[in-house]
Structure 1
Amino acid sequence: MESKIGFYLEQLQKISEVKAQRDIQGTWYKNNLTYLDAFVDEIEEVKFEIKAERNCFLEDELGDLLWNYVCLLEHLELEGKVTKEKVFIRALKKYSERVTKRNSQGSWDDIKERQKTELLDEYHKSIKK
């Protein structure tokens, strides 16, 4: 059976685009930290539902985490701080190197240190421009 996760994520992202425009015009949203703060609150709710072993509530709260993350990405992109595509590209690169491409390239920690060095180099190049 083919996974529909990509489809669902795309639909959620489209809804977050609409929500971001409403946020900008409304009073609830203050800045990009609004969703980050909400994300932290949702983590506590996820922890509670894991302990309570109420799976349908857990799925719902995990959905709230995902929603807040998608909305945070949307706002950060609107502010010109990130591009959503680059966030996903970086995550895919990072974890494929640490997990599926690791083989004899070293430990998780070795690869993590190399990746941090590469990011620092990229950052230094970007500020020299």
Structure 2
Amino acid sequence: MFEKIQDIAVVKAQKDLEGEWFEGADTYLNALVEEVFEVKEEIKSARQCFLEDELGDLLWDIACVLEHLELSGQINKDEVFRRAIKKYSERVTERIEGETWASVKEKQKIELEREHLKGFE
């Protein structure tokens, strides 16, 4: 279902570029921060439909951030999803005995640093 939100965000991104109010991905990053507080408030209120609605706003803002960062050439959305799947499968479902979340995280940080430095070779 996230793909459907992403499809709508593709259209919205083009409309954003036509507007004067839009300030790049920061527009949606700022909204994301605000929405986190709204989600926290709805968790306290125990109003399920409002909580679900606010969580949807978080998904929307994430979809818009991804779209605008891709449009600006800063990311590849598919790569973001691939990296997230790899990261969390290694930390959760593929973690071998004796490894901890923290030890896997540290190993991943080292791998990212190597990947980053490789780009300078």
Shorter-chain TM-score: which interval?
A: over 0.9
| Residue 116 of structure 2 is aligned to residue 115 of structure 1 | no
Equivalent residue runs for 1:81-120 within 5 Å = 81-104=74-97, 106-120=99-113
Higher RCO (CA 8 Å, separation ≥ 6 residues): 2
C-alpha separation in 2, matches of 1:27 and 1:45: 26
Contact 1:105 1:111 (C-alpha < 8 Å) held by counterparts = no
C-alpha separation in 1, matches of 2:105 and 2:4: 32
Q: Secondary structure at the match of 1:76?
A: helix
Match for residue 4 of structure 2? 11
Match for residue 80 of structure 1? 73
Q: Runs of 4+ in structure 1 displaced over 6 angstroms?
A: none
- 1:26-82: CA deviations, max 9, x gaps? 022112111000000000000000001111000000000000000000000000011
Aligned length: 121
Unpaired runs of 5+ residues, structure 2, are none
Equivalent residue runs for 1:32-111 within 5 Å = 32-104=25-97, 106-111=99-104
State percent identity of aligned pairs.
55
Find 2:13's aligned residue among 12, 17, 20.
Answer: 20
Amino acid at match of 2:77: K
Cα RMSD (Å) of the superposition? 0.9
Q: Secondary structure at the match of 2:108?
A: helix
Structure-1-length-normalised TM-score = 0.91
The offset of 1:115, in angstroms, is: 0.1
